[in-house]
Every structure is written in structure tokens, then in C-alpha cells.
């Protein structure tokens, strides 16, 4: 008997909407699908023990703020934003404590899960960048090296990037506490 197929992105969106409405039955399949992804993303930047903590704290944050989730919005951009924020917070904690926690894991070959997470991250980011106004999208594209730098003053470019970041935070679910 083959393992059950993981939920599609649309099914994950529905599951999160159900969780946000307080439907407990939707929690388990959503957790079972998202926790390994959180662990995979965190493992790409952190040592295993720290990645496990970050994956768990990401899931706690996601579900703690589930009631603020807006049904109809995609859950994966929000989810990956929460995980990325938790990874950054973990790296900051260790740097402040004088720890030697590396955010680059030498010699770790990407797994199939890592490749899936990378594709999903890129798709989620592209989905959000596509939803930006053209000026903000151009600023983000140039920052990522995917477009020419705009021919404007450096201060105007920084302001453009600041506005683009604010829009991206909103699109990635920053308004949900992620």
C-alpha cells in the first residue's frame, strides 16, 4: 500500500481556513504536512538540534495565530515567512549570546524535501512579487539581481525598497503575526 499523497497547496489553504475556524480535525493533517517542511527549511540554516526547536516554535506560532488567518489567502507564503522569521530569531539569539551557531551548513547535500521546500519558497515569493505594483516589483527584482537597477537616486531607491518590503510583508502574512 502506497503512502497517502500529501495535500495540494489548495488543500492546505482549505485546511488552514478550517483550523482558523476552530475545526480541530484539520489540525493533524496540516501539522503532518507543514512540520517536515518547517524542519527542512530550518535544517538548511541551522544545526539539527536548533532546527528542531525552530520547526516546533514555527508550528506553535502558526497555530497560535490561526484565528487571524484570512480564508482564501494562501497559507504557504505565510507559513514560510513564519519559519524564516523563527530561523532569523534563532540566529540572532545565538549571536547575542556569543554562540558559534553557523547559518551555513558545510557539506550538507540538499534532500528531496529540501528541493521541494526551495521550489515552494521560490513559488510563494514569486506569487507575492507578482502581486506587487510594477514599481515595487522592479525594486525587488533589482535587489535579487533579476533585473537592472533603477536609474534613480540611491535615497529614492532605498525608499522604494522600503515600501516594497512593507507590501511583501503584508502579502506574506505579516498582518497575521508571522
Domain ranges for the chain: 9-176
**Radius of gyration, alpha carbons of the chain:** 18
Q: 104, 64, 63, 62: which is closest to 83 by C-alpha?
A: 62
Q: What is the pLDDT of residues 90-120, one digit of tens each?
A: 988 878 777 655 544 434 555 666 666 677 7
Does domain 9-176 fall under CATH 1.10.1740.10? My reply is yes
pLDDT at 115: 67
Residues 6+ apart with CB under 8 A from 177: 61, 64, 65, 68
pLDDT at 34: 94
- Cβ–Cβ contacts within 10 Å for residue 132, how many? 18
Cell of 56: 516546533
pLDDT at 15: 94
d(CA 134, CA 131): 9
Residues 6+ apart with CB under 8 A from 35: 55, 56, 59
Cell of 178: 508571522
State the pTM of this model: 0.62
d(CA 175, CA 10): 21
pLDDT at 49: 92
Query: Which parts of the chain register pLDDT below 70?
Result: 1-3, 99-117, 169, 172-178
Amino acid at each position: 500500500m502506497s503512502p497517502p499523497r500529501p495535500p495540494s497547496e489548495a488543500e492546505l489553504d482549505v485546511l488552514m481556513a478550517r483550523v482558523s475556524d476552530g475545526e480541530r480535525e484539520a489540525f493533524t493533517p496540516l501539522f503532518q504536512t507543514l512540520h517536515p517542511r518547517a524542519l527542512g527549511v530550518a535544517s538548511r540554516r541551522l544545526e539539527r538540534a536548533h532546527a528542531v526547536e525552530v520547526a516546533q516554535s514555527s508550528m506553535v506560532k502558526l497555530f497560535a495565530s490561526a484565528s487571524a488567518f484570512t480564508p482564501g489567502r494562501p497559507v504557504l507564503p505565510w507559513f514560510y515567512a513564519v519559519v524564516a522569521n523563527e530561523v532569523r530569531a534563532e540566529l540572532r539569539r545565538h549571536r547575542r549570546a556569543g554562540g558559534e551557531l553557523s547559518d551555513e551548513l558545510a557539506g550538507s547535500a540538499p534532500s528531496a524535501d529540501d528541493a521541494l521546500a526551495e521550489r515552494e519558497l521560490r513559488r510563494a515569493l514569486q506569487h507575492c512579487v507578482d502581486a506587487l505594483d510594477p514599481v515595487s516589483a522592479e525594486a525587488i527584482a533589482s535587489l535579487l539581481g533579476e533585473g537592472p537597477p533603477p536609474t534613480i537616486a540611491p535615497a529614492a531607491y532605498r525608499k522604494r525598497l522600503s515600501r516594497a518590503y512593507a507590501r511583501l510583508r503584508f502579502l506574506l502574512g505579516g498582518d497575521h503575526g508571522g
